[in-house]
Structure 1
Amino acid sequence: MERVVLHIDLDYFYAQIEEIHDQSIQNKSIVICQYSGRTEDSGAVATTNYIARKYGVKSGISIKQAKQLLSGKESVFIAANHELYESISNLIMNIIRKYSSKFEQLSIDEACIDITSIIDGNYEYAKDIAIKIKNEIKQEENLICSVGIGPNKLIAKMAADSNKPNGLTILPPSKVKPFLFPQNVKSLYGVGPKTHSKLKTLKIETIEQLAKCNLDVLIKHFGHKFAIYLHLSSSGVDDEPVREKPVDQIGRIFTLKEDTKDFTIIKQTIETLSKDVYLQLQEQNLTFKSVGITAILEDMNTCQRTKTFEISHNSLDIIINTSQKLFLNFLNQESKKIRRVGIKVFHFSKNTGQTKLFDFN
């Protein structure tokens, strides 16, 4: 049976989050910065929205250069808030994960799922699933994403990249080569500037020309492993499975109905989130040594607290009680109201099946 893979890409993720939480900056160039702290403008651009990209501002350039490119334009420069972005990413990954048992997070803003066994090769059904994912992400987090659907991870990713932002592109096997072949070879995932330059010396400009190039020629110039990749991927072939990488933490986060310091409300939320986290621990047969909380405040600042135990646990009560104590202590020290509540567990070990005395506490 032909595989069917969905690739989900959260469009201009960092900048989109900032845009949603401060509507006054919408329709302006948004530049997310990683400041070095040496001078006011020292550091690099982490990412931008699409408006800023029109003026040549892109990831990796200096903040000083970005300000020069946007001189005279309406623009805002914002320090990256990685804790906030990670917390929202975790929430969205949990949404995507629900739609298939074969899930792989590729980065903070990209993931893919294999839905082959769910749809039985029906790409219309795949489209329905993609729309449901897009709608749920929009409803829960007010964020847009682009989705690509194809017979493997490579084609699904290229499909998503081809129609952004907020796109949905479907490439069944019959449409893969017509989609790939006319494109410049630098559009192929994995072809960077050096590879592109070398391919040009071989008079290879399009993906079709690469697909038709003799494999021995490619091996001579790129080595056996990378030559095989170029040969197969240029024809749309990719056998790499969708598989979840080992997790370093499991967490859930929830947006409260209104900003609050009422511990009764927060306590109920912690219990619900803890049960979700515990279920994921059970499914993956993991124990944990550390429990952490995340509090996103009314001004969007992010605060975190953790507690680490000497031995591993697999108890729901320990997750709930530890999280509640951490939040209660935090509330006693913080004057601002809380907008989002998050919990996580980490420092994992595989569950040996032995119940520890402390797990009854």
Structure 2
Amino acid sequence: MSAPRWIAHLDMDAFYASVELLRYPELKGQPVVIGGRREHQPRPGADGRLQFARLRDYTGRGVITTATYAARAYGVRSGLGLMKAAALAPDCVLLPVDFEAYRAASRAFKAAVREIAPVIEDRGIDEIYIDLSELAAQREGVAHDPLGGLKQLAQDIKNNVRAATRLSCSIGLAPNKLLAKIASDLDKPDGLTLIRPEDLTLRIWPLPARAINGVGPKAAQRLEDLGVQTIGELAACDPAWLVQRFGKAYGLWLHQSAHGLDERPVQTHSEAVSISHETTFERDLHAVRDKAELGRILTALCEALARDLARKGLVARTIGIKLRFEGFKTVTRDQTLARGVQELAEIRHAAGLCLKRVDLSLRLRLMGVRAAGLAPVSSRATGPSPELRGAAPKPVTAPLFEPTNPG
């Protein structure tokens, strides 16, 4: 008989903010948001003590990357505009984002988990799934708690993460990934929550439908408009009724998820589908009046893309752009090439070909570049891509922004 299936979802608690509190322990317990710019770096005051920027002093279009739990008590949360957050909690400390520090902490906590449980699925910088089935079978429980060994295994992982990083995490334990993901959020911070199939009606069904990973804001609102607010109410819906309103695939998935059904395995490796970089401007930029600045931003984005491709040993057959205009209209364009590219000049030139197919008469508030159709460098065909043939790619400093007719 195979071992019972036990999946853990490990989620670092307020990850970016917690990393910053290691650097600035004097901020512990205070409302802190992460998402500022370089100029919001703390600076020594006249008395030698660090002076921190406050939300009330922020101007611009930035959004919160994360916030401490003390800040969340004011209604401040990830994704909220910093100007809106300032209206809610003007005295919150504002810190700039430091992705290098967060990536280092991410590598450290994942290495600490692998020391105990090596079968993990990387889901991002601050969360992983862990298959504990075999390891849990080796841990004995006790008469009054047959799952005590499983819970001790999860606690050992939490302890190892804290020893390696000085950070806390929350772990959800369940028979599958869907329930484990929900469970990890139930007792934050520093939680350890176990959900068994028999716990579904008491622990899961009272939760809002949006607690299911995969039910986004639009689907949650549509369900609410249909009178379905909780997971339990979703579970009671006729599958045919859900299919009629949400389509066959999503409707059936909603029904299965509400009943806690999920057979997805923990995937220890997955290939990148695409790589992208984007930035939101502090002010709207115009293709003519701000041509030089837009050109520099595009080059920087393409440079970041080229570095990622080189580091991963990949080439891209498709280069795309994403533009968001005033009024929040978003446009994307892709250029598929005959062979994979990796060099900055080729990436930027392909992005320029995409730009020629966009009406740039409106002011821009966001720009992004994307590489897709990824393959190992060894699979790259020789010779220049026909799209780039006939002349050397434009120098990376060449201006590419001119108002054009849409293609």
Q: What interval of TM-score do these two structures reach, taking the shorter chain for normalisation?
A: 0.5 to 0.7
Work out the CA distance in 2 between the residues paired with 1:123 and 1:233. Answer: 24
For residues 211-226 of structure 1, the aligned pairs below 5 Å read 211-226=235-250
Calculate percent identity across the aligned residue pairs: 31
Equivalent residue number for residue 50 of structure 1: 69
Equivalent residue number for residue 297 of structure 1: none
Work out the CA distance in 1 between the residues paired with 2:76 and 2:206. Answer: 28
Q: Highest CA radius of gyration, 1 or 2?
A: 2
Query: Are residues 1:194 and 2:218 paired?
Result: yes
Query: Are residues 1:118 and 2:135 paired?
Result: yes
Equivalent residue number for residue 106 of structure 1: 123
Work out the CA distance in 2 between the residues paired with 1:11 and 1:148. Answer: 13
For residues 348 and 97 of structure 1, do their structure 2 counterparts lie closer, same or farther at Cα, with a shift above 3 Å needed?
A: farther
Work out the CA distance in 2 between the residues paired with 1:56 and 1:4. Answer: 34
How far 1:34 sits from its partner (Å)?
4.8
Structure richer in helix, relative to its length: 1
Query: Are residues 1:41 and 2:59 paired?
Result: yes
Work out the CA distance in 2 between the residues paired with 1:4 and 1:151. Answer: 5
Show CA shifts across 1:73-98 (max 9, x none).
3x311110001101110111111123
Aligned length: 253
CA contact (8 A) 2:35 2:65 kept: yes
Equivalent residue number for residue 307 of structure 2: none
Equivalent residue number for residue 128 of structure 1: 152
Equivalent residue number for residue 6 of structure 1: 8
How far 1:172 sits from its partner (Å)?
2.0
How far 1:175 sits from its partner (Å)?
1.6
Where in structure 2 are there 5+ consecutive unaligned residues? Answer: 40-56, 139-145, 273-310, 315-374, 379-407
Q: 1:228 aligns with which of 240, 252, 263?
A: 252
For residues 341-356 of structure 1, the aligned pairs below 5 Å read none
Letter in 1 for 2:96: A
For residues 289 and 218 of structure 1, do their structure 2 counterparts lie closer, same or farther at Cα, with a shift above 3 Å needed?
A: closer
Equivalent residue number for residue 210 of structure 1: 234
Worse-matched range after superposition: 218-227 or 54-63: 54-63
TM-score norm. by structure 1 comes to: 0.65
TM-score norm. by structure 2 comes to: 0.58
Equivalent residue number for residue 172 of structure 1: 196
Show CA shifts across 1:167-222 (max 9, x none).
11011222233211222223222222221222223322221221121111101110
How far 1:40 sits from its partner (Å)?
5.6
How far 1:148 sits from its partner (Å)?
0.6
Equivalent residue number for residue 23 of structure 2: 21
CA contact (8 A) 2:11 2:184 kept: yes
Equivalent residue number for residue 140 of structure 1: 164
For residues 145-160 of structure 1, the aligned pairs below 5 Å read 145-160=169-184
Work out the CA distance in 2 between the residues paired with 1:45 and 1:87. Answer: 21
Where in structure 1 are there 5+ consecutive unaligned residues? Answer: 249-286, 291-346, 351-361
Query: Tell me, what secondary structure is at the counterpart of 1:149?
Result: strand
Letter in 1 for 2:32: I
CA contact (8 A) 2:136 2:153 kept: no
CA contact (8 A) 2:108 2:164 kept: no
CA-atom RMSD, angstroms? 2.6
How far 1:131 sits from its partner (Å)?
0.7
Equivalent residue number for residue 90 of structure 1: 107
Show CA shifts across 1:240-267 (max 9, x none).
110123378xxxxxxxxxxxxxxxxxxx
Letter in 1 for 2:183: A
